[in-house]
Chains A and B, each alone.
Chain A
Amino acid sequence: DQQVKQNSPSLSVQEGRISILNCDYTNSMFDYFLWYKKYPAEGPTFLISISSIKDKNEDGRFTVFLNKSAKHLSLHIVPSQPGDSAVYFCAARLLQVRSGGSNYKLTFGKGTLLTVNP
């Protein structure tokens, strides 16, 4: 059962336009959501995150929106640049409380390949 879904495997936009990457989740207990960007032959890099108690977080050209009732989040990139071309992973964090202490577990989506055309 895939708890974090990125239904679009790829997205192509024109330079200067807005890129919207979508992510859906099923577990209402996720407390934190993150977006990572991955270039070929490199590991993912953290991009932006949002707490479940917020509905928007903005950092420069990147904005993440969270709609808890719809269990949906999206990443907006405005304006898109060719250097933004990469695979974008959505991830959700779950707090697990155990007798030995608490732990966080990340669940990732399968990623969306964004191509920004000059």
Chain B
Amino acid sequence: KAGVTQTPRYLIKTRGQQVTLSCSPISGHRSVSWYQQTPGQGLQFLFEYFSETQRNKGNFPGRFSGRQFSNSRSEMNVSTLELGDSALYLCASSLVRGGHNEQFFGPGTRLTVL
């Protein structure tokens, strides 16, 4: 069974630009969560999607948004990029909502904002 895939793996953008990251969950998984990992803040929850609906949201500004498609693939968008948005963005999928002990993470997208 293929794992969680994220594209692209690395991305370099400049301040003010916008970026879209993609996540393909494990086949059959309907819940997709996004996390931001930085050295200073560690892992922080962004949002969770289940059945194309955002079910839960962390404490991030509205510049961070996402969506989920009918095939459970998810995209995350960050608009008006700031230097502090440089981070590793991780996507995780699970079969059910809140299935954290069955959550599988992708390798992440490393975003660098210059």
Q: What is A's interface to B at a CB cutoff of 8 Å?
A: 32, 34, 36, 41-46, 49, 89, 91, 93, 96, 101-111
Contact = CB atoms under 8 A, between A and B. Distances in A.
Given A43-B107, A103-B98, A108 B56 contact: no
Contact of A104 (B4, B56, B58, B105): B56
Contacts of A106: 33, 45, 100
A1 B98 CA distance: 23
Contacts, number: 66
Interface residues of B, number: 26
Interface in B50-98: 55-56, 58, 90-92, 97-98
Contacts of A46: 100-104
A34 B101 contact: yes
Contacts of A103: 48, 55-56, 97-98
Contact of A43 (B58, B90, B100, B101): B90
Nearest to B9: A41
Given A108-B43, A111-B42, A43 B105 contact: yes
B42 A108 contact: yes
Contacts of A104: 56, 97-98, 100
Nearest to B6: A43
